[in-house]
Structure 1
């Protein structure tokens, strides 16, 4: 019941906002749709997630003890990406991949700095912080992306 109320509030909140090109496409309000989908996923999986002002949800399983990255840091991250139905669309090797946080989707640029080196958790990325309304390879437009991430190092 509590989660149904939260989902209803989220739908009402987002339906009252001004629409923009990043959240509405072909008459679909992806911001509202994604919010409901993420809230349901959190409830179904008994997660304790925090919502940022941008709409990113994150779960910190372990904060880590090393350096904390900024939005422009170069990092190495091991990850697994999947949809809310648990279908995996991408996964790194255990040694991770290295990249600049200013070169990836907005959800990662914002979300990875919540962790310190050695930290891990989950990022629940609405489409406006992911790939938007356009299809991108195996990812349909408007998709919520779920990432299990482990921050291996900050350079």
Structure 2
């Protein structure tokens, strides 16, 4: 599949996903589905917060490209991650577990990464474990 066609298929997939029951939109054209409610205490990470999270990343064909499960959770300053994570995680509370659908423009854009072709919509299952 050509790059332009692949990017188009990914955009169409995201538009269809957005119509599913339980899928909500946040800024940046990012969508998510709540898998588990957390504390709901109104405390959210900021861009400068250090977040601790478990995650699994997949492309729309279901191919897993990364995961922290089975190992140590990710602990990183939020602003050091892709835009899609920064935007989504600022909406989350500790204990929330979401499936997040990130358009390519808020992920890696037209650039390929190991296991991720350029133009990919990214699917992440993210559980926010802590905010520092």
TM-score bracket relative to the smaller structure: 0.7 to 0.9
* 8 Å contact kept, 2:65–2:114: no
Question: More deviation in 132-141 or 102-111?
Answer: 132-141
Deviation at 1:68, TM superposition (A): 1.8
2:24 aligned to which of 22, 45, 50: 50
Q: 1:120 to 1:141 in 2, by over 3 A?
A: same
Tell me which residue corresponds to 1:107: 84
Contact 1:41 1:84 in 2 (8 A): no
For structure 2, which runs of at least 5 residues remain unmatched after alignment? none
Paired residues, number: 127
Q: Which runs of 4+ in 1 moved over 4 A?
A: 26-30
| 2:34 corresponds to | 60
Structure with larger Rg: 1
Q: Which has the higher contact order (CA 8 A, sep 6+)?
A: 2
Q: Which structure shows the higher strand fraction?
A: 2
| TM-score normalized with structure 2 length | 0.83
Does residue 36 in structure 1 map to residue 12 in structure 2?
yes
TM-score by length of structure 1 reads 0.72
Counterpart contact for 1:58–1:122, Cα < 8 Å: yes
Q: CA RMSD in A?
A: 2.3
